């Protein structure tokens, strides 16, 4: 396949969660032809309700949130595609992407926003968001003065159990028959906090008519009531593309990126849950915004520097504006539609 057979864009964003969609919003509105390729699913799509996002009410689900965002970026002129990026090759500072098994895209810059998957413990488990929760910063507020469990046998489970004492005085740590692997120091801390550690495996579960968890049954016959809790079994980072491109990874599997999302490979950016930091939508969006602006500063043709003016001459009137014809038309149509709508409202 030759380069001319491929669809070209300035920017490809791999992953269409809050981080990737925000990066795409910025690159598009700043004048760069952008394609988002998204397999679907992901952590934001798992949200039953949205917390901690100012301006978004709690009743908005992850699916609704993402649908609105997908429509927004397309309205601004980005291309949104359902697909799986299995391979990215770099040659001459450009990137060749394989989507759904086809050699497909040729781009100048790549944003990796592929996130991670939470490792899920064995059933019985309540539904996600109705007693099974993966986001402490999002959901701890829901459990103030409620009975809460934390599931797991490592340091992170023990820590989260102790952290939950900031919100409630009823916290159980459920190891489910696994041998604890937390450190001696953690063990000392744990014993100094009012937490019940239950080692027996869960054998049954009861849910209320609203679907929420009510209690777990244990193999020794005990039944303990819980409103909800947090499984702590680690994260599987979707870092294969980053690793294949040669991006540096941290020991935990996150991709090393600077404050603008730049990885150790020129032209490759990483944002959102794929990089280290608080796994939150506002953080993912902030990282996407920063990466989008950094890419704009990297790709924008003007102002032409003194060196470029010496090499290529002054900017001709017919070389401006720098934005592509298709984005130019979309931006004008968008503005006209907005103006027509506000005239109709008056």
Ligand X SMILES: Cc1cc2nc3c(=O)[nH]c(=O)nc-3n(C[C@H](O)[C@H](O)[C@H](O)COP(=O)(O)OP(=O)(O)OC[C@H]3O[C@@H](n4cnc5c(N)ncnc54)[C@H](O)[C@@H]3O)c2cc1C
Nearest approach, Cβ of 7 to ligand X (angstroms)? 16
Q: Residue 195: phi, psi to the nearest 5?
A: -125, 135
Backbone angles phi, psi at 62, to 5 degrees: -60, -40
Q: Which of 62, 68, 89, 88 is nearest to 80 (CA)?
A: 68
The minimum distance between CB 49 and ligand X, in angstroms, equals 6
Within the chain, residue ranges assigned H as helices are 18-29, 62-76, 136-139, 155-164, 184-191, 240-245, 281-299, 306-312, 325-345
Q: What is the closest distance, in whole angstroms, from the C-beta atom of residue 179 to ligand X in the complex?
A: 27
| Residue (58 or 336) nearer to ligand X, CB | 58
Closest to ligand X by CB, 113 or 195? 113
Minimum CB distance to ligand X smaller for 175 or for 238: 238
> For ligand X, which is the closer residue by CB, 51 or 304?
51
Give the nearest distance from C-beta 35 to ligand X in angstroms: 11
Interface contacts to ligand X, rule CB under 6 A: 14-20, 37-44, 46-47, 50-53, 84-85, 113-115, 118, 128-129, 134-135, 138, 238, 241, 272-274, 279-282, 284
Using the minimum distance from each CB to ligand X, give the nearer residue, 255 or 327: 255
User: 26 and 41 in contact (C-beta within 8 Å)?
Assistant: no
Is 14 or 174 the residue whose CB approaches ligand X more closely? 14
Q: How far apart are CA 185 and CA 182, in angstroms?
A: 8
Residue 236 C-beta: closest distance to ligand X, Å: 11
Exposure string of 284-306, with b = 16+ CB inside 10 Å and e = fewer, is: bbbbbbbbbbbbbeebeeeeeee
Considering Cα of 307, then 311, then 316, then 318, what sign does the dihedral take?
negative
CB of 50 to ligand X, least distance (A): 5
């Amino acid at each position: 396949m030759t380069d001319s057979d491929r669809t070209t864009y300035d920017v490809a964003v791999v992953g269409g969660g809050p981080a990737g969609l925000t990066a795409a919003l910025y690159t598009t509105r700043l004048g760069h032809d952008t394609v988002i390729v998204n397999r679907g699913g992901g952590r934001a799509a798992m949200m039953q309700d949205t917390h901690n996002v100012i301006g978004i009410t709690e009743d908005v689900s992850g699916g609704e949130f993402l649908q609105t965002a997908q429509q927004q970026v397309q309205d601004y002129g980005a291309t949104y595609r359902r697909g799986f990026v299995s391979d990215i090759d770099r040659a001459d500072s450009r990137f060749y992407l394989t989507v759904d098994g086809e050699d497909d895209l040729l781009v100048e810059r790549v944003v990796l926003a592929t996130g991670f998957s939470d490792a899920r413990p064995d059933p019985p488990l309540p539904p996600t968001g109705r007693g099974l929760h993966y986001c402490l910063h999002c959901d701890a507020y829901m459990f103030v003065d409620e009975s809460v469990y934390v599931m797991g046998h490592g340091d992170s489970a023990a820590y989260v159990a102790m952290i939950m004492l900031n919100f409630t005085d009823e916290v159980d740590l459920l190891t489910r028959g696994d041998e604890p692997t937390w450190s001696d120091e953690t063990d000392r801390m744990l014993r100094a906090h009012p937490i019940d550690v239950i080692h027996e495996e869960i054998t049954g579960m009861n849910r209320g008519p609203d679907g929420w968890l009510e209690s777990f049954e244990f193999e020794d016959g005990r039944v303990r009531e819980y409103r909800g809790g947090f499984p702590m079994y680690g994260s599987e980072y979707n870092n294969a593309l980053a690793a294949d491109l040669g991006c540096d990874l941290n020991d935990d599997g996150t991709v090393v990126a600077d404050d603008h999302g730049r990885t150790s490979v020129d032209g490759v950016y990483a944002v959102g849950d794929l990089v280290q930091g608080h796994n939150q939508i506002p953080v993912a969006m902030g990282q996407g915004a920063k990466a989008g602006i950094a890419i704009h500063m990297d790709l924008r043709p003007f102002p032409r520097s003194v060196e470029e003016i010496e090499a290529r001459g002054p900017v001709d009137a017919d070389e401006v504006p720098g934005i592509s014809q298709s984005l130019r038309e979309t931006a004008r149509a968008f503005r006209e539609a907005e103006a027509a709508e506000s005239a109709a409202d008056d």
